[in-house]
Structure formats: structure tokens, C-alpha cells
Structure 1
Amino acid sequence: MILRLPLLAASAIATTLFATAVPVVAAAAPVATPASASEPVSEEDKELLELFRQSDEASLRRNPLNGLFRGDMRYADRLGDYVSDAYMAAEKIAVESDLGALAEIDRSKLNPTNQIAYDVFKWQSELNLKGFAPDLLATTVVQPVDHFQGFHTFYPSLASGEGAAPFKTVADYENNLKRHRDYVVMVDRWIERFRQGMAAGVVEPKLIVNNMIEQIDAQIAQGVEGSIFYGPVKSFPADISSADQQRLRAETAAVIRDGIIPAYKRFGNFLKTEYLPAARDSVGLVGLKGGDRLYAHLIEVHTTLPLKAEDVHQLGLQEVARITAEMEKIKTQVGFKGSLAEFFVYLREDPKFQPKNAEWLRDEYFRIGKRVDQRIPEQFTLLPKSPLEIKAVEPYREKSEAGGSYQSGTPDGSRPGIFYFNTYDLKSRTTPGMETLYLHEAVPGHHFQISLAQENEALPAFMRFGGNTAFVEGWALYAETLWKDLGMETDPYQRFGGLSDEMLRAMRLVVDTGIHAKGWSRDQAIQYMLTHSNIGRTDATAEVERYIAIPGQALAYKIGALTILRLKDKARKELGDRFDPRAFHAQALDTGALPMTVLEAKIDDWIQRTRAGH
């Protein structure tokens, strides 16, 4: 694992252009009971749950931001470490201790849900332990941040007054100030780590460094009162006294002026004068010392399967060819006479496929959401209680963000889930595919999967709040395949947009492995995406630079979705008339994000029980 951010949602939260709550599904829809609610509890079950509880409590002390994202404020006065040797050592000791305690529990005496929890905990712990191998750790700790998932992009949103950190009481504001002081220390530790990497010959690509420099300079340029960190003190709850307001405003300005901005200047100057000249020209892990071993590990981390890069690359090529054939059919259907490449240009450049303005984009997503809600009960009985909001990505981060993203809410619904849409460079945001994007990021994609896991109190915390990319993103991509069942993509251009999104995930298999295992350049990767899809250059550039920053993550979407589709097809064939998509979806969603091997074992067991009439 790359220990760059705590194990929480990596998307930043901050001030938004538009913010309106929308209902997710009709309130009258039936809700299934969590699988473990009525299961027997043995002494072994109790031992396992106690192990999970102790492990989670210890993890929250080491990783306090995880608690803050859950709404647990016990450790909200600290940011956490995440960078030092002491932190790494403590994390490794904790994993080894957890595995030792787990081995003492007889799995065969656990109830079915806890057997799944046992398997997930074992899989995750063993994979985490692999990440602490000396050769892997030597390549990860010396690259503590990058332009896509660095604390310098995540933390400002957290602290903005519009993010996960609450600002309801004086204590909330004081906790924020304490976290700011920790943040200043953290920024200086990044410099230390990067210098260690320079000495070892393990450095980031120049492309990533230049992007980070631009991000840091942009935040410095905000000044004090224009800083996103100043956001919480621009307004206060009515019950905070005038004296406290004045004091907190002054202290916030002081920590920005005397702490954060100077730290940013030190970091930015280091990147410009020392690190950039030493950074590498290559963009893939294939050009990094120890990069091949790291990439193999990251493929397993993100897909949950020990796949070979070459096999993934070939699968991607096959999927690109299949989807291209489907695109040709749509092109013929709408009567376009040119080549597919010309059709891509037509969709990218014709004004009728561009949003009229940001407000229109927002309103259209509301309309899409209402249409989806009407059909959800046909496919789902297990529904989240958490509300969903639709918001535009904030201007300070919109340039490097994707067209859409999701930020999870809190389990109690006090902070809703958020579907973000991007209004940057509107001419590059084509309207075909908007329906598919909503299915993926919102309903029934990320919002369903993440919210249902969090809300299921029968699950241990690591399954409610943790997960793996293959399931989380695989489910969201699988949700796109429900377009016909949910009344979406009735227009051929919207269907083409759906194919375009599927093509994006297929191209990722080709491009990510091309960059990190075959030595593809940034421009080569961008051109491949432009040639095989109607994605705009702005989005293609952001996508490729994301793959460069977080190797292997982009592979998980297609690998996870193909696994879920294969299991659904298997269930349909074996169950025949007994197959109910609502029951399949409940089985897939009621135990959180499972590794692919654990998910397959669970579905196989469900198929056998259903055939037996249980």
C-alpha cells in the first residue's frame, strides 16, 4: 500500500458553487434486513468482534482523521502523522498483532457473516503487511504527496468550513487550529522524505512536481483572508460569542500567515530549486528504481487479484475492440457518414453537445436523478437512508478534477453524500454520458454502495468504512450497466455516452499498464485516449496525469465490474426463474466492499442456498 493519505475518502470537500439536497429514492420502498441481524453469536464470534473493536480503536488513535470523517470527534484535535518512521513502524506492528490474534480464532465456529468478515480482515491485513516489505516501503515513503492525492489538495478542503470537519462549537474551531499546527509540521516532513528519495535515486516525475508547484503557488497567492483556510471564520454559528469570534478569527489569520503560508513557501521553494532538477523525465513506474515490483504490488492492492500487467493490457485491448464495434453501430444508427474518429470530433466540438451553462448542467443532473429514483425499486430493496446532494466542484480544484466524483456522507445522515459535477472548461464537457455519470457516481453507484456499508451497524467498522477499489469502483461501473433497467440512455447519443464511459474504463487497462509497465509517454497515452474515444483533451490530460500519480488504481474499475457481471450471469444461469436482481444486489451490497475472491465465495454460497430453497 502507498501510505499517502489516511484510509478515508480521498476526495476533498470545500466551498461549492451549487448545493441543493435531493431525495435518493422513494421513502416507501422496502428495505432489506442486514444479513447478520438475526444470526447466532458464538464465543468465537464475540472474540472476533472484540478483535475488530480493539483494532479499530487503536487505528483511530493512529489515524484520527478517519474518526473525524465518521463523525467521531474524540481525536479531532489532531491531524495525525502518516509520514514518520515511527508511524510506519506502529502500523506494521498493529497489522502483525491483528494477524496473530486472528489466527487464534476458529473460523469454522463463526456465523456466516462473521466468516466473511474474518476473510476480509485476513485478506486486508496480509496485503497491508506486504506493503511494509523493505523494498516496497523504500519506494513509497519517499514520495509522500503528489498532485492528485496529496494532503496539500485534500486538507484545505477538509478545513474549509464546507468539508467533513464540523464548525458548530468553539471546540470545533479550536480543534481546527490545532490540526493546522500539525499540518505545518507535516509539510516540513514532506521535504525530509523527498530529500531521502533524492539520496536514494527514487524521485517523482517532473510532470507531478510541476503540478504540485502550481498547486502550492495557487494557495499561497490566496493570501490570508482569501485563503480557503480562512473560510470557517467568515461566518459563525449564532451561539458563539462575539469575543470568541474575534479571537478565533485572529488566531486563524495568524496560523495561516505565520504557519501555513511560510511552510508552503518552504515546500514550494524546495520543489522548485532542489527537487525539480532531480526529478525524473519518465512518467511510469517502469522508469523508477524498484518500480516493477511496486507496480505488481499496486495491481493487487487495487484489483484485489494478483494479476500480471501484460494480461491486464491484453484484456484492455480486447475490451477496446469490443466497445468500438458497439460504437460503430450507434454511429450508423444516427446516420453519421464519416469515420468513428470523425464522429468523436463531432461529439466533442458540435455546440449542441455542450452544456449551455453551469446552471443548466446542475438542473439536468437533478432531472436525471428524479428519473432514476422512479425505477430504483424495480432493481433494489436494500436502500440507503442517507440523503444525496448535487454540487459543482470548487474553482480552486476544478482544473485537475474529473467530470464527476462522489464524497461520502456520515452514517447518521447529518452530512449527506455529495455528487460533484465539474464546470471547468464547459466546452470540453459534452452532454452525452451525463446519465451514465450519474449512475456511476450517485445512484445506484457510489452513493448506494458506500452509504449502505456505513449504515449497516451489524458490520465491523473496517467493513463499514473501509473497502477496496475493485469493489467500490467496480460496483459503480457495474451500476452503469443497469441503464436499461433504470430507464436511462433511451437517446442514442446518451447510449453512446454510456459506451464512451465504458470505453474510458477499458482504455485505462491499456493506458495504465502502458505507462507503468511498457514505458509509454504522457503524450502517447493522451493520444491513445483521443484516438479511441470522444473524450476531450482536457479530460484525457487529467485522466493520464491521474494514472501517472496513482499507478494501478484505474485498473480496478473494469476488473471489478467484469467480476460482478460474471457472478451475476452465473447466478442467473444457475438459478433460472429463481433469480431476482434485487436479491443479487442485496447480496452484493449488504456486507460492504469485499475483495473479489471473497465476493465470489459469498455469491456462490448464496446461489447454493437459493437453489436449496433457503
Structure 2
Amino acid sequence: MRFSLSRPLLCSTALLAVLMSPVSRCAAAPAAHNPAGAPSSAARQLHQLADAFYRARAHFDPLLITANGDSRFNGELGLSISPANRSRQFALYRRMQTRLKAIARTRLGEADQLNYALLAFELDSGLSLEAFPEHLLPLNHFDNVPGTLANYASGTGSQPLHTVAQYQDYLNRLNQLPAWIDQAIANMRQGVKRGIVQPKAITVAMLPQFQQLRSATPEANIFYTPIRNLPAAFSQADKERLTAAYRKTIATRLAPALERLAVYLEKDYLPASRASDGWHALPNGAAWYQAQIKDRTTVSMNPEQIHQLGLKEVARIQEQWALLGPRLGYSGAPAALPQWVEAQDKFKTFKTEAEVLDAYRRIDDKLKTRLPALFSLLPKAPLQLQLEPELTRATASDHYTPAAADGSHPGVFWAVVNDPRQYSRTGMVTLYLHEGQPGHHFHAGLLKELDVPDFRKFNTENPNIGAFTEGWALYAETLGHEFGLYDDPEAYFGHLNDELLRAVRLVVDTGMHAKGWTREQAIAYARDTLGYSEARAKNQIERYMVWPAQALSYKIGALKILELRERARTAMGDKFSLPQFHEVVIGAGTLPLPLLEARVDRWIASAK
């Protein structure tokens, strides 16, 4: 029995107006009669406002736009952590809300009805955390601007480095980084005064990253990597000009700023970091965490409801251990199966990183022959497999970065391999279904192909739609059954254990941020429940410490998609088609869960 999210879904006031108006739950109102086929005045106003919103967001947070696959803003870094810039952005969003409400929604066609609803959602979501000073926590070990730019230095990530213009864009960002660093230091000083600081364990975890960004000479700095990799096709003049410019920026501006940051973190911020671990310990922390839950999941659930859901899911999944253990050669207590698997060398057969990547390529080759049976929509963008860069490998999780819409770089599945000899085969299939295809790569790739406004097209990395993006990717893991990949008990164990991880996240995230759990308590629960090593459990828990509520989106989103699939199967009977269901779910791009549910319900109704 799968849990049904039967509680009312939460969405913005503006979005509720769209959903609950006489135009039934996001169904389109009749479009105004327009014999010439030209856009109505309302449609033109909506498109202009949508474009203005996207440009404002792009200039405010251009790194997010780069991560979403739009390379047009790759020369900008932005200063979204500036209090003045934040105030201006929120004021702009409020004016846009007023403009949106003035548009005659009933005169919009079906496609623009959805654009209207999604723009209302985005504006409300953008304003939902205005009251909470997240800019006073500008750095953590898991996600920070200097580290992101350092990872881009290889030119193999979301910001490619193949042309002179791309080199100049990256240099422009490096020239803007010192101002960002100084603003971050100023924000952290203010945070110390207000008691809004990172836990001491997080500061300890991020210190090595920023110490590694320092170097004895400009040439030894990681940000000099593009010059070490200058394409042979560049002219000699361009090579000399770029080399001199990069060296000067690093020596005179960037290196001193990185030194200031490392010294401040070690000498001032570490002693001021807090002994508590959860968000509840911050000023107004309980309300802040609840707001983050609403933003990340789009459902109306409080921390205790989510905590109990997590415990229920943990118990459900653990019941499968009794059946699966003997197939793996295990005869002990069912609850201890993950610990036993973790200790077995027979599941760890790799000797090199290359062998790990080759194993993922074999999984990909097998999937390519089976995907068309379950999907009528296949993305055109290619997918690559790469290793996580060394700078962030120790603290990173396996992840995906979307392909660029202009084709300048493919989608990339980043595998985190710290020690290939300790890399278990058991989790590889389910991980690839999630991060690769048909998980994140299908959603992100198909989104780029849609004829939709930019604020929708470039919208795969935003945390406020994680319940869809991560929910879809976790749902994609369950398709290993249909693909026949879980006939292998090793792969099926990996799937169940990763599903168990997502259930554990509901428990530990709410435990730390709402129920007073310590970091050590959360690590022990993850270690004992999942069979993780101390280091692996620590890596997971410290991610949740700095990114509250994001980890809740996986399970909540996947449960909703599974619920909708069963609803459609029951209602449609012989008319139900799994490929068509998948097209309904991901064929319109990223949707908050209320809009996704409405879309599936319309599909069911149309079949009747």
C-alpha cells in the first residue's frame, strides 16, 4: 500500500485563484475570439511580463541560469546576497504580481493559462522567503559560489570553455568574484551579530575547500586552469592576451580576496559558529523551516506529518529485507541487511575510476534499447558521464547538470568516486535511472525542446520545484521493474536501499530542523538504518544541515506521481498507457504538484 498525499496541496494565493476559479482547476478558459490568429492583448502582456521576470531573475542569479542550461548570462556573476539587491528584487517581484493580476486571464488561450499559473507560482515562491535572512548564510561546504566557479574552470561543466568569447565570459566572472567574496564576509559578520551562523561542524567541513583555493603563484591557482588548457586553435594574440589577463586578475584581485575569505573563516567565523545543528535554533527558525518546506515541496504538510510519513516509509521498505536477504546470500536479521551488504567485498569489484565509468556506460547501453517501450518522448540532447572534480569530491553527492539549450555542452551525470575499491555495484542501476535517464536527463532535456517562455524552459535547478524534478527522478528509479533491471537481486537491493535513503531523509531532516535532533543523532540513525559508513552518513547529514527541506522533495514528489499513476490506471482501465502517462507528466515541463495533479486529472477525464 503506497501512501496517498490526501491532504490539501498548498500553492500561492495567486495560483489558488487560477486553480479554484470558475475555470476548473487549471483547465483553460475559452480563448477570446481571434480570427486572425494574432495574440490577444492579454497574451502579449503576459509574454512581456514573463520575459521581464526571466531577465530579472537571470541578472539577479546568473549562476542559477547557467546551471539551467542558458549560456547567455555566462559573463555575469550577480550579487544576489547583497541586502540592497535583495530588496530591489523583492520590490520588483511585488510590482510584477500587481501587473499579472491586472491581465485579463479569461482572454488567454490554453497554453497561456498554464503560463499565467506558473508565473503566478514563481512570483509567489520568489517572495515566500523574503522575511528570512538567507543571505546571511552565503557559504557552506555543499554549495558556494567560489567552489562553483572553481569547478567550472575545467570547462567540462555547465560553463564550457571552447571559444575566446567563452574564455572572456569566465574571466568576467572571476573579476566579479572579489566583490562577491567581500559581500559574503560582510554578511557573515552581520550574521554573527544576529546569531545567524552555520553550525561549527559545517564551518569545519568547508574550511579545506577555501584553503585549497589559495595558491603560492597565479599559475598554480585552480582558476588559472583555463590557461593551462588553451585550445590550439586560438590565435597567438588571443593566447597572449588571455594569459596576461587571467594572471593579472588572479594575482592582483582574486588571490587577495580568497586569502581574506580563508583567514576570516578560520580566525573569526569558526569561533563564532554555533554549537546547535538544526534550523530550529536560529532566530525565527521554526517559521523559517516551515516556509522552506512549503517552498521545496508545494504541499501543505508540517514537520511532524512529514516525520511520521518518513517513519512509515522506512518500516514499509524494511519489510522487503526479509524477502531479499536470502537471494543475496544473507541469512541474518532482516533489519541488518544493509550493514551486511556494505561489508561484503564481493559487491566491490572495481579497481579504477575508469572501471566505474565503464560500468555506468554498460547500464546506459542496456537502457537505450528499452526506453522506447515506456516513453513516447525521448530527449534529443546527449548525455555524458564524468567524474566529480577533485575539489568537491569529498563532500559532493552524485548529481546531474542539464544540457545547454544552444548545444554548447551536453547533459552530464557526475559520479562521485572517492575510492573505486570501495565503490559498490549495488546502487549503480538505480542511481543512473535517477541522475541519468529516464530521470533528470529526460525531464531537463525535453524541457529545452518545449516552445515555452524562458522562465519555464530554463527551470530545472530551482529549489522551489524540487518536488517535481526530484520526485520525477525518484519515480524514474521505480521503472527498473518495468525495464527488467531489478530481476538482479543486487540491483534491486540498491534500488530499495536508495528508496530507503529518501525515506530516512524525511525522518532526519525534520528531526534536526524541527525536533531538536543533534547532528550525531541524525548520523547514527542514517548509519544504522542504511548500513552506511560513518563518513558516508556524515556526508549526507551535513548536506541536509545546510539545505533544509530540499531532501524532503524526493519522496513527497515521487509518492504523488505514483499515486497519480495508480489513479489513472484505475480510472482508465484498458485505455491506460504508461508511455502516455509519462508524456502527460513530463510533456509540459516543470510543474508544481497541484498543477501536475490537475493535468493528470484532465487527461483521465478526456479518456472518458
TM over 0.5: yes
Partner of 1:7: none
Superposition deviation, residue 449 in structure 1:
0.4
Q: Provide Cα deviations, 1:253-305, integer angstroms capped at 9, x if missing partner.
A: 22222222221111111111111111101111112121111100111111112
**Match runs of 1:493-508 below 5 Å:** 493-508=490-505
5+ residue gaps in structure 1? 1-35
Amino acid at match of 1:477: L
- Inter-partner Cα distance in structure 2 for 1:40 and 1:112: 15
DSSP 3-state at the match of 1:164: coil
Superposition deviation, residue 336 in structure 1:
1.7
Superposition deviation, residue 45 in structure 1:
2.8
Partner of 2:252: 258
Partner of 1:366: 361
Superposition deviation, residue 334 in structure 1:
3.6
Describe the shift of the 1:591–1:392 C-alpha distance in structure 2 as closer, same or farther (beyond 3 A): same
Q: Provide Cα deviations, 1:475-516, integer angstroms capped at 9, x if missing partner.
A: 000001111112212211211111001000000000100111
> CA contact under 8 A between 1:160 and 1:230: conserved in structure 2?
no
Please say if 1:399 is aligned against 2:399.
no
Given candidates 181, 188, 191, the residue that maps to 1:194 is: 188
Partner of 1:296: 290
* Stretch of structure 1 that moved more, 292-301 or 602-611: 602-611
* Stretch of structure 1 that moved more, 175-184 or 75-84: 75-84
> CA contact under 8 A between 1:341 and 1:531: conserved in structure 2?
no
DSSP 3-state at the match of 1:382: coil
Partner of 2:408: 414
DSSP 3-state at the match of 1:415: coil
Describe the shift of the 1:428–1:73 C-alpha distance in structure 2 as closer, same or farther (beyond 3 A): closer
DSSP 3-state at the match of 2:386: strand
Given candidates 269, 272, 283, the residue that maps to 1:275 is: 269
* Stretch of structure 1 that moved more, 493-502 or 169-178: 169-178
Partner of 2:83: 85
Q: Provide Cα deviations, 1:576-611, integer angstroms capped at 9, x if missing partner.
A: 111111111111112211111111111111111122
* Stretch of structure 1 that moved more, 487-496 or 440-449: 487-496
Describe the shift of the 1:441–1:521 C-alpha distance in structure 2 as closer, same or farther (beyond 3 A): same
Superposition deviation, residue 72 in structure 1:
5.6
Amino acid at match of 2:144: G
Amino acid at match of 1:471: F
Superposition deviation, residue 215 in structure 1:
0.8
Describe the shift of the 1:276–1:65 C-alpha distance in structure 2 as closer, same or farther (beyond 3 A): closer
Superposition deviation, residue 74 in structure 1:
5.2
- Inter-partner Cα distance in structure 2 for 1:437 and 1:557: 13
Instruction: Please provide the CA RMSD for this pair.
Output: 2.0
- Inter-partner Cα distance in structure 2 for 1:67 and 1:198: 30
DSSP 3-state at the match of 1:420: strand
* Stretch of structure 1 that moved more, 220-229 or 173-182: 220-229
Given candidates 450, 455, 460, the residue that maps to 1:462 is: 455
Partner of 1:47: 45
Describe the shift of the 1:284–1:80 C-alpha distance in structure 2 as closer, same or farther (beyond 3 A): same
Q: Provide Cα deviations, 1:433-488, integer angstroms capped at 9, x if missing partner.
A: 211001000010000001111221x1111111125111000000000111111221
Partner of 1:94: 92
Superposition deviation, residue 101 in structure 1:
1.4
DSSP 3-state at the match of 2:207: helix
* Stretch of structure 1 that moved more, 411-420 or 43-52: 43-52
- Inter-partner Cα distance in structure 2 for 1:499 and 1:360: 24
Superposition deviation, residue 68 in structure 1:
4.6
Please say if 1:535 is aligned against 2:529.
no
Describe the shift of the 1:420–1:64 C-alpha distance in structure 2 as closer, same or farther (beyond 3 A): closer
- Inter-partner Cα distance in structure 1 for 2:318 and 2:284: 36
> CA contact under 8 A between 1:41 and 1:111: conserved in structure 2?
no
> CA contact under 8 A between 1:355 and 1:430: conserved in structure 2?
yes
Partner of 1:108: 106
**Match runs of 1:67-146 below 5 Å:** 68=66, 75-133=73-131, 136-137=132-133, 140-146=134-140
- Inter-partner Cα distance in structure 2 for 1:505 and 1:355: 26
Superposition deviation, residue 106 in structure 1:
2.7
* Stretch of structure 1 that moved more, 245-254 or 90-99: 245-254
Partner of 2:26: none
Describe the shift of the 1:183–1:333 C-alpha distance in structure 2 as closer, same or farther (beyond 3 A): same
DSSP 3-state at the match of 2:369: helix
**Match runs of 1:203-218 below 5 Å:** 203-218=197-212
5+ residue gaps in structure 2? 1-30, 32-36
Given candidates 578, 581, 584, the residue that maps to 2:578 is: 581
- Inter-partner Cα distance in structure 2 for 1:511 and 1:153: 26
DSSP 3-state at the match of 2:394: helix
Partner of 1:381: 376
Given candidates 492, 508, 512, the residue that maps to 2:509 is: 512
DSSP 3-state at the match of 1:225: helix
Superposition deviation, residue 166 in structure 1:
3.6
Describe the shift of the 1:525–1:222 C-alpha distance in structure 2 as closer, same or farther (beyond 3 A): farther
Amino acid at match of 2:332: G
Number of aligned positions between the proteins: 568
Q: Provide Cα deviations, 1:351-409, integer angstroms capped at 9, x if missing partner.
A: 1111412222111111111111111111101111000001111222111112x211111
Superposition deviation, residue 237 in structure 1:
3.0
- Inter-partner Cα distance in structure 2 for 1:398 and 1:602: 39
- Inter-partner Cα distance in structure 1 for 2:234 and 2:473: 42
DSSP 3-state at the match of 2:400: strand
> CA contact under 8 A between 1:500 and 1:534: conserved in structure 2?
no
* Stretch of structure 1 that moved more, 245-254 or 216-225: 216-225
Please say if 1:63 is aligned against 2:61.
yes
